[in-house]
Amino acid sequence: MTKTFSEQEVLTFARLAYQEGNAAFGVERDHCALLVIDMQEEFVKPHFTPFWVPEATRQVPRIKRLIEMCRTVSIPVIYTAFARTHHYLDRPLAGPLMPNRYAEEDAAWFRDGVIWHELAPLEDEIVLSKPSYGAFYDTPLETILKNLHKDTVIICGTLTNFCCGTTARQAYERGFKVIIGSDITATDDPAMQEPELQVLRKGFAKVLSLDEILAQLSQP
């Protein structure tokens, strides 16, 4: 006999996955690369632009702890920055039509992609300039990860529900295991943080706190 499902059963199943779901893979340190998403001056420097994310500024010390741990255990650290690339001709055409654009945007913003000084990359660390939200869109990130023999990405940075979340989805679709930090990603509206994490938790990533990530990475 074919099983049937009530509306309440499917709702309960969905809510459980959103709130308590845990992707069924372990964190293997040697397989990981850290992606530090868009921790650049436009988002992190207080009062600098209308795109400032105050929570991202507050999270700098925590993200720095993760970066230092990754360096200590030889996990590659890869930075991204939303910046001027290819004379802006590689950006999605509909971008300027979106309501997240500031009406009086200064052309100097999002041009050089300067990483916040407290999280400055080392000389041998990669900084990818990207033209849109996701770090895989029109960048060599997938090739870089494959050449590094890494199949798992740890994501921190900003914004959770734009660049971090889009990168997580793109990584998932390319066959990577995704770990996203619940308290080392930030949004411009704190009310949007948990809803985005719930979606990622259900279908795209393992969602862990910084302490949980550090505990996993401390194991050989």
Per-residue pLDDT at 168 exceeds 90: yes
Give the range among 93-107, 112-126, 133-147, 168-182 with minimum mean pLDDT: 93-107
- The mean pLDDT value for 19-39 works out to 97
Instruction: Give the pTM.
Output: 0.96
d(CA 159, CA 54): 11
Q: In the numeric block, which tokens belong to residue 20?
A: 């308590």
The residue written with tokens 């938790």 in the block is: 201
pLDDT tens sequence across 109-144: 999 999 999 999 999 999 999 999 999 999 999 999
pLDDT at 88: 87
Residue type, 109: W
For residues 43 and 158, the answer to whether their CB atoms sit within 8 Å is yes
d(CA 38, CA 56): 10
pLDDT at 100: 87
Q: What integer best gives the mean pLDDT of the chain?
A: 95
For residues 206 and 179, the answer to whether their CB atoms sit within 8 Å is yes
